[in-house]
Amino acid sequence: MIDSESLGGVIQMRRSAYRGPEDSPVPVNFNELDLHSTCPACFSTMEAHHYCGPGNIVLDTCMKCKLAWLDHGELSKITRAPGRR
């Protein structure tokens, strides 16, 4: 879980520092957009969005708390995705 406003900076920092091999692109699983998680901070229903940056993930966000939830491995997928660093 991370503050939505901080997420972009964290992604930029991790991608610019990463020097390992890039992962092959994997299509996003759009079925994940139909899943509805509960925010662990305020217990509101979170919204699922296709993250349009590198990594092809579905990002869960709480509009009330301004928090983003990354599932296990999703930040690594973003970090290792091909593209501009």
pLDDT tens per residue across span 42-76: 999 999 999 988 998 999 999 999 999 999 999 99
pLDDT at 72: 94
Which stretches within the chain are classed as H helix? 4-17, 74-80
20-42 residue pLDDT tens: 999 998 888 899 999 889 999 99
pLDDT at 84: 87
Give the residue carrying structure tokens 């662990």: 40
- Extract the tokens encoding 85: 């660093």
pLDDT at 38: 96
pTM for the structure as a whole:
0.86
Please say whether the beta carbons of 62 and 44 come within 8 A. Answer: yes
